[in-house]
Structure 1
Amino acid sequence: MTTATDHKLIYYIKKWVDNISEDDEKLILAAFEPLSVKKKKDVLEPDETCKYIYFVIKGCLRSYYVDAKGIEHIYQIRLDNSWISDLESFFSQRPSKYYIETLEDSELLRISFDRLEQLYSEVPKLERYFRILFQKAYINALERLNATMWESAVDRYNNMLKEHADIFQRVPLVYIASYLGITPESLSRIRKKSAK
C-alpha cells in the first residue's frame, strides 16, 4: 500500500519523467528504504563511505566539514522534498570528508549505490531523472562557488531569502551564516538593514 509520503517521491520524479506506470512506481518505491531520524543525529560521518542518497520527505538536514582549526563549514542545507548526499563519496565509494546531520526530526527515503544501479535496469526512464538531478547538483555546487567569489554577502543573503524564505524559521542563524560564508555578526547586520 502506498502512503502520502511515498507519493511525494513519485510526484517529484514525475515532474521530470513522463509515462511512469503503476508497475514502475511499485519498483521505485520498493527500491527505497524509509528511515526516521531524530534531531541532531548523523547519517554520515567523515571517513565513512557515503552509502546512500537521501530524499527528505519531511525535515531538515545539513552537510558540513570541520577544518583543521575546528571551524564548521556548511556545504548543504536541505529541507522537505529535496535530496542530500555526499555524491563524491557515493559515486567514488571512497571515504567522505563530510558530516550529514539532521537539524529536525526527519522522515527520509534512502537508496544505496547498488540498488540505484539495479533500479536503472528495472525502470530505465529513471536514468533521465537522476541525470537531471545530478546535473542540477553539479550546477548548484558551481553556483555556490561562484557566489562566494563574485557576489557580495548581501546578494547571497537576498538570493537565499528569495529561494528559501522558510529556511530562516527552521535553521539556526549561525548555520545560515556558515552556509553563506559570513560571520553570524555580519548576517545579523545584513538582516537588520534588510528589515528597515
Structure 2
Amino acid sequence: MKIQPLLDYMSKYISLTDHEVTLLKSKLVYRKYLKGQFILQQGDVCKYACFVVSGCTKTFHVDEQGLEHIIMFSIEDWWTSDMGSFITQTPADFNVQCLENTELIMFSYDTIEELYRQIPKLERFFRQIIERAFVASQKRIIRSFSLSAKERFLYFRNQYPKIEQRIPQYMIASYLGITKEFLSKIKSQLIIEQ
C-alpha cells in the first residue's frame, strides 16, 4: 500500500507514532480505479472518504434533464467523496468518477469511528480537513454570484494550475457554470489581451 503520500499530508496537521501508523495501515483500503470508473454513484450511500494518491476525479450532480454539474475536481493530495452522504449515511447527491487511472486510500465509514477511539488525534485531523472544505465551498458560492465568468476562469486557472491541463475544456466550463463555447470566447479574449 502506498501510504506515504497520506502520511506526508497528515504530518502537516498531526504527528503519528509508529504504532499509530501501523494501526492506521491495518484499517485503510487501498484501491486502483481505471479512467471512467465510478467511485460513487448518485443515489448510493457513500461508504468511503477517499484520499487521492495519484490520478484525477470529478464530483458532479446530474439533474432531471440529464445535465451534468461539476462541483469539484480532485488530484494528488486532495480528498474526494460525497461528504454529506458519508457523514449522514444517506443516498449521495453526487457522482465521483475517475478522469484518469486513479489510486486512492480509503477510510471506510464503518472503521472511522473505531479509528477515532484508537487514535484520538485523527478526529482533530478530520475536523480540520472538513472545516477547510466547508470554507472553500462557501467561498466558491460567493465567487459564483459575485464574479464574472472571465474572473471565475482566471481564479480557477491561478488557483488550480495543475488541473487545467489535465481535464477537457467542457468540464472546466461545467465547473464554472458556463458553456464550452463561452469558455473558448473568454480564452480567445485573454490571448488578445496579452
Asked if these proteins are the same fold (TM beyond 0.5), I'd say yes
**Code of the aligned partner of 1:183:** T
Q: Shift in Å at residue 133 of structure 1? A: 0.3
Q: 1:82 aligns with which of 52, 63, 78?
A: 78
Is 1:49 aligned to 2:33, yes or no? no
Output aligned runs, 1:114-193, within 5 Å: 114-193=110-189
CA distance in 2, matches of 1:192, 1:25: 50
Structure 2: stretches of 5+ with no match in the other structure = none
Aligned-partner SS, 1:166: helix
Q: Shift in Å at residue 59 of structure 1? A: 0.3
CA distance in 1, matches of 2:52, 2:190: 30
Q: Shift in Å at residue 29 of structure 1? A: 2.1
TM-score, length-scaled by structure 1: 0.94
> Which digits, 9 at most, give the CA deviation of each residue in 1:37-67, with x for residues without a partner?
0000111111100111110000000111111
RMSD: 1.1
CA distance in 1, matches of 2:140, 2:157: 15
The corresponding residue for 2:8 is 11
Q: 1:30 aligns with which of 21, 26, 30?
A: 26
**Code of the aligned partner of 1:70:** G
Q: 1:71 aligns with which of 53, 63, 67?
A: 67
**Code of the aligned partner of 1:10:** L
TM-score, length-scaled by structure 2: 0.95
Pairs aligned (count): 192
- Shifted more, 136-145 versus 82-91: the winner is 136-145
Is 1:100 aligned to 2:96, yes or no? yes
> Percent identity of the aligned residues?
33
**Code of the aligned partner of 1:55:** F
Structure 1: stretches of 5+ with no match in the other structure = none
CA distance in 1, matches of 2:103, 2:137: 25
Q: Shift in Å at residue 193 of structure 1? A: 2.1
Q: Shift in Å at residue 128 of structure 1? A: 1.2
Q: Shift in Å at residue 137 of structure 1? A: 1.1
**Code of the aligned partner of 1:22:** D
> Which digits, 9 at most, give the CA deviation of each residue in 1:5-30, with x for residues without a partner?
3111001111011x321111112222
Q: Shift in Å at residue 181 of structure 1? A: 1.0
Q: Shift in Å at residue 194 of structure 1? A: 2.1
CA distance in 1, matches of 2:26, 2:153: 39
**Code of the aligned partner of 2:9:** Y
